[in-house]
Amino acid sequence: MILTELRTTTREFAQATGWEPKPEGLCRGEICVPAPGAVNADGSLDVAIAAARLGMPLVEDADHGVWSLGPATLSGKSLNTAVAADPELMNFDGSPFRLSSLRGKKVILVAWSSY
C-alpha cells in the first residue's frame, strides 16, 4: 500500500490489506489483533499504529513524499535490508573464496544436490 500520509480511511486500509478495523481490533477473518489507538475519533486510521501492531514494515521515501506499507507478518519479522550474505566457499584447489570478491561482475550461481 502506497500512502502520502500516515492516516487513511478504515475502508481503504481494509481494501488494501485485508485487515478490517473492528471494535475488538484489526481483524482478518476470525483472527483479531488488539490495536488500541489505531482508529481515531474521526474514523480515520493511524497507519503507523496499525503497522506496529500487525508487524507490517512501514518505509518512508522522503524524497518523493510517500510511505510504503508491506504485508502483515504477525511475527514482527520483516526484511529490512537488501544486503545479501557473503558466504565463504572453497574453490577447486581448496582455498577460501568469498562471493564479495566478484562485486561489480555478472555472476551465475549453480547449486546441485543428489536428492
| Whole-number Å distance between alpha carbons of 1 and 57 | 11
Task: State the pLDDT confidence band at 100, using cuts at 50, 70 and 90.
Answer: confident
| Whole-number Å distance between alpha carbons of 89 and 96 | 6
Residue 25 has a pLDDT of: 92
What are the two backbone dihedrals, phi and then psi, of residue 17, each rounded to the nearest 5 degrees?
-115, -20
| Whole-number Å distance between alpha carbons of 24 and 33 | 8
Whether residue 94 is predicted with pLDDT greater than 80 in this model: the reply is yes
Whether residue 74 is predicted with pLDDT greater than 70 in this model: the reply is no
Bigger pLDDT: 53 vs 74: 53
Bigger pLDDT: 84 vs 13: 13
Please compute the mean of the pLDDT values over residues 69-92 and round it to a whole number.
74
Q: What is the mean pLDDT of the chain?
A: 87
Residue with cell 481503504: 12
